[in-house]
Structure 1
Amino acid sequence: MYIEQLYTGCLSEAAYYIESNGEAAIIDPMRDIEPYLELAESRNAKIKYVFETHFHADFISGHLDLSGITGAPIIYGPKTEANFDVKIAKDNEMFPLGNCSIQVLHTPGHTLESSCFLLKDESGKDYAIFTGDTLFIGDVGRPDLAQKGESLTTQDLAGMMYESLQSKIMPLADDVLVYPAHGAGSSCGKNLGSETVSTIGEQKQTNYALQQTSKDDFVKAVTEGLSEPPQYFPVNASINKNGYSSLDNVLDKALTALSVEDFDKKSKEENTWIIDTRNKEIFTEGFVPNSVFIGLDGRFAEWAGSIIPFDKKLLIVAEQGMEREAMIRLARVGFDKMQGFLNGGFEAWKNADKPIDMIINVDADELAMDIPFDENIVVLDVRKETEFADGHVKDAVNIPVTNLTDPVSIAAFEDNDNIYVHCQSGYRSTIAASLLKKQDIHNLRNVTGGWEAIKQQENIETEKSVEALN
């Protein structure tokens, strides 16, 4: 028996390759399926099953492409309704895999169809459970993702999750390995640990959700403090449920190298966005006007899905050689309207004497010097509301970066405002500054180092919100 976790850091997503006696199963594959095919080929194994724990909301799964190439059936748990060929397993149904077997455990709560897969070894002993978004290391899946048409409240789903955990997960032996679908940084829970594997025993001792003594306590514990899910979650869940174009077909168009002139012409077409994926320090020094910064060195795909409208056509500016990586990451969260990339990168644009824009960076000490003498200063904090509440510049305006595409959110800015933008460390504020410039707000500065640097300034007055003090 062989298990390999294939972890995608920028989405905090774990897919799994399980093999026994030349037969393999893939659990929760990403849209780019080459790693699974290459792994099976290198180990002389045949992929027999494609298991899905649920309709993922935070990425596009590779189930359709992987099944199409290998002929392996796509297996979901009970209560699944899909618009493609799928094997809907019964609760507790067994699937032989070489000398081992995989048992389907229906565990509704995160979604109605959510299921876990219990791997039994050659002797029939419970060995590992692949918990999807039902159980994480240190947390459980968020119960506020009811799909369109489901008349379920967050409390309803949380109650279902409690019953699922009590009846299907807690009775397992303490030494059973726990392999979740996500790790720290994922928006699919609120308290995910940094580890990506654990045991049932460790989770019973350390996971706050498993330590609640009643259903009411559990529902309260897992629903309190939930932030709003990213805006792209329902889009991705719908795509995974209804089907999508092959990744190869998407990339055929996306990986079109555009000359400077062709790129310029396409950028002026209606409903077209330019996405610049370079490092933030390089981006601020010069970029194609109206570009939106989302750097590949951050949680690129998640931020793209949270900010870019899915009906837009996309043009990409990237470091040379990184174009394909950018396109694949965009496709992972459902972007299929990519029109090509700037051949030669930003250097080609600059060398063609095309107009460029830039963002002025300032240090926190410069902000400290300017605040007392400029009555038009607006400190714009683009962190989440919870971060802002825990400490911010006195009289700062809080607009989370994901809200900066909403005209209502930025309508309060005046023409004579001197806007100083910051986040926690600098990545989100660069995104924010580019979004503001795209909406013709140019009188701004980006505070490098963000809140981490600002709070070190003794002469910048800071405060906490009332709710953070209680």
Structure 2
Amino acid sequence: MILEQYYTKCLAQGTYYIASNREAAIIDPLREVQQYIDRANEDNVTIKYIFLTHFHADFVSGHVDLADKTGATIVIGPNAVTSYAFAKAEHQQTFKIGEITLQLLHTPGHTMESSCYLLKDEEGKEQAIFTGDTLFIGDVGRPDLAVKSDLSTEDLAGHLYDSLRNQIMPLPDHITVYPAHGAGSACGKNMSKETSDSLGNQKKTNYALATSLSKKDFIKEVTTGIAPPPAYFPKNVWMNKGVNSSIDEVISRGMTPLKLESFKTLAQDPEYLVLDVRSPQEYTAGAVPGSWFIGLDGQFAPWVGSLIEDIDQKIILIAPLGREEEAVTRLARVGYDNAQGYLLGGFSTWEESGANTTSIENITAQSFIDGLEDHSIQNPIDARKPGEYESGHICSVPLQTLDAVHKEITSLDTTKTYHIYCGGGYRSVIYASIAQANDIKNVVNVEGGYAAIKKTNLKNQKIVATSNCSL
């Protein structure tokens, strides 16, 4: 038997490849499916099944493309409704892959079709469980993503409690838990950075599996403190229930090289967004006026989905040379299929032409603290998430989270200068770029973010791990 986890850090997402005796199965495939076909060819196996744990909200799955290219059967659990052919499996139904078996366990709660797959080896011994978004390492899936459902968040949380206790917790401690996501995903509140663990350890350490936790307390716990889901989540669910453009078509369109004049013409068209995916350092040094920065070397796809509100937005790219296809592919992973091309030669082409550029000033963390001390800095912004802010922040700096940037910037004064920081210097540049594109021209990035600020001589600046700065 072969069992391999394909973990995509940008999405904090796990796909699984399982093979036995010339047959294979894929669980929760990414949209770019050629990697699974290539692996099956290397192993001289046929992909027999494609299993979905549920209709994902945070990425577009490649199950339909993969089925078309391989002839494999798509399997989804009870309550699933789609516009494509699939096998609707029942609770405890088994599927043979070579000499091993996957058994579907219906585990509603995160969504009503959510299911886990229990792996039994050649001898029928339980070895692993693929839990989708039902059970994460250290957490469980959020129960508030039902689309047009007559079930409340509390109703779904109650179903999740029952699913965990009736279907998962009775399983033996030695089996390995393989979830669909890890730390960084918006599908849970506080996932571990670990991507697998023994069920026995999760029973000891995961709050949601505590035997002392009543159903009422569980519902309160999992429904409290959930950040609003990114705006693209419902669209991705809809896409995962339907037939989409093939990834090959999306990449082909996005990989159109645009000469300078063509790029300029599109950049001036309000229907197009210029998206710069280089590094924060490159962007702040010089960029196309009006462009947004969301760098590839960060949580690129989730921030694209959170901040580009129209999933059908026409996008033209400024990318590092040789990474254009990566950018188009990663946009497509979250359903942004309307990339229309990239600037041939990258930002150098724009800069060397003598066209206007914009830049963002960078200052050190110590200069920022000094500015707060002498009051030369009067409009600081903390762009982190509420949970980060609550765990530690400077009392004199208000929270204006990047997730809400489109709302926050409407209250900014175009005549003032704003100093922005985040956790490490990635999100603050995103915030600054969007602010600049909305005529907030005087923005300054604090290099290294809060991590660097904590290492400075803070002088009289008070840092607290509470919202009460009077303490």
Same fold (TM over 0.5): yes
- Does the C-alpha gap of structure 1 residues 460 and 271 become closer, same or farther in structure 2, counting only changes over 3 Å? farther
Q: 1:65 is matched with which residue?
A: 65
Distance 1:201 1:63, change over 3 A: same
Aligned residue number for residue 449 of structure 1:
448
Q: Distance in 2 between matches of 1:372 and 1:125?
A: 65
Would the alpha carbon gap of residues 415 and 132 (structure 1) be closer, same or farther in structure 2, given more than 3 Å must change? closer
Runs (5+) with no aligned partner, structure 2: none
Contact 2:414 2:441 in 1 (8 A): no
The change in CA–CA distance for 1:284 and 1:383 in structure 2 (over 3 A counts) is same
State whether residues 67 and 74 of structure 2, in contact with CA within 8 Å, keep that contact through their aligned partners in structure 1.
yes
Maintained 8 Å contact 1:379/1:393: no
Alpha-carbon separation, structure 2, partners of 1:41 and 1:123 = 26
Do the aligned partners of 2:384 and 2:401 also contact (CA within 8 Å) in 1?
Answer: yes
Do the aligned residues in 1 keep the contact of 2:377 with 2:419 (CA within 8 Å)? no
Aligned match of 1:190: 189
Could you tell me how far 1:241 is from its partner in structure 2? 1.4
Is contact 2:21-2:98 (8 Å) kept?
yes
Cα separation, 2, equivalents of 1:199 and 1:121: 16
State the partner residue of 1:388: 389
Quote how far apart the aligned CAs of 1:108 are: 0.2
Q: What is the RMSD of the two structures over their aligned residues, measured on CA atoms?
A: 1.7
In structure 2, the residue matched to 1:329 is 330
Partner Cα separation in structure 1 for residue 211 and residue 428 of structure 2: 38
Describe the SS at the equivalent of 1:459. Answer: coil
Counterpart position of 1:411: 410
Residue 326 of structure 1 and its aligned partner are, at CA, apart by 0.7
Give the SS at the match of 2:10: helix
Distance 1:294 1:460 in 2: 34
1:50-92 Cα offsets, whole Å, 9 max, x none, are 1000000111101010001011111100011112212110111
Residues 373 and 460 in structure 2, CA contact (< 8 A), matched pair in contact too = no
Q: TM-score, normalised on structure 1?
A: 0.96
SS of 1:398's partner is: coil
Deviates more, 1:294-303 or 1:453-462: 453-462
Structure 1 pair 256/284, CA: closer, same or farther in 2 (3 Å)?
same
Is the Cα contact below 8 Å between 1:108 and 1:115 reproduced in 2?
yes
Q: Which moved more, 1:309-318 or 1:323-332?
A: 309-318
Tell me, what secondary structure is at the counterpart of 1:404? helix
Alignment of 1:61-140 (within 5 A): 61-140=61-140
Q: Which residue number corresponds to residue 173 of structure 1? A: 172
In 1, are the aligned partners of 2:267 and 2:273 still within 8 Å (CA)? yes
Matched residue type, 1:426: G
Residue 37 (str. 1) matches residue 37 (str. 2): yes
Secondary structure of 1:324's counterpart equals: helix
Corresponding residue SS for 1:143: coil
Cα distance in structure 1, aligned partners of 2:248 and 2:33: 11
Cα distance, 1:82–1:454 mapped onto 2, change above 3 Å: same
In structure 1, the residue matched to 2:357 is 356
SS of the residue aligned with 1:289?
Answer: coil
1:421 aligned partner: 420
Q: CA deviation at 1:246?
A: 0.5
Which residue type is aligned with residue 350 of structure 1?
A: E
Shift of 1:21: 0.6
Figure out how many residues of one structure are paired with residues of the other and give that number. 467
1:365 aligned residue = 366
Residue aligning to 1:233: 233
C-alpha separation in 1, matches of 2:90 and 2:468: 47
Segment drifting more, 230-239 vs 355-364: 230-239
1:257-276 correspondence runs (5 A): 257-276=257-276
Aligned to 2:430: 431
Identify unmatched segments of 5+ residues in structure 1.
Answer: none
Task: Give a deviation string over 1:27-51, Cα, whole Å, max 9, x none.
Answer: 0000011111111000000000010
Shift of the alpha carbon at 1:174? 1.3
Amino acid of the structure 2 residue aligned with 1:404? V
